[in-house]
């Protein structure tokens, strides 16, 4: 087995989590925009509000991607801790920086 398996796995998982959270954020933001446009149209026309299926689909997909990204974040952090415990070589600032960026992306959701 490679001596840097957990270290490299932590980098890959942190990158995957960052990408998934970025995509989830975009979907949720787009769904919010569609819902705001719908509410504005209802206010202008004085009609009853009905749910927008496209916005609901975007919210659902965004939440699903967010949960998968969170699982990848947890797995990546676990791999970093295991790599440190095994004293694997490598710059640990890379996966830790990716995890911090990922947490920053989650804060904007």
| DSSP-assigned letters across all residues of 35-63 | HHHHHHHHHHHT------HHHHHHHHHHH
CA dihedral sign of residues 16, 17, 18, 24: positive
Type and span of the H or E element at 79? helix 53-85
The answer for 46, left when phi > 0, alpha when psi is -120 to 50, beta otherwise, is left
- DSSP annotation of 34 reads H
* pLDDT tens profile 8-35: 999 999 999 999 999 999 999 999 998 8
Q: Where are the domains of the chain?
A: 5-107
**Mean per-residue pLDDT for 44-53?**
72
pLDDT at 50: 67
pTM of whole model > 0.75? Answer: yes
| 51: Cβ contacts below 8 Å, ≥ 6 apart | none
């Amino acid at each position: 087995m490679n001596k840097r398996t957990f270290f490299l796995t932590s980098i890959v998982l942190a990158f995957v989590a960052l990408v998934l959270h970025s995509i989830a954020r975009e979907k949720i933001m787009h769904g919010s925009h569609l819902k705001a446009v719908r509410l504005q149209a209802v206010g202008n026309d004085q009609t009853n509000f009905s749910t927008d299926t496209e916005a609901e689909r975007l919210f659902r997909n965004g939440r699903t991607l967010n949960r998968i990204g969170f699982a990848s974040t947890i797995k990546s952090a676990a791999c970093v801790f295991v790599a440190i415990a095994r004293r694997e070589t490598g710059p640990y600032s890379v996966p830790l920086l990716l995890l911090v960026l990922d947490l920053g992306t989650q804060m904007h959701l």
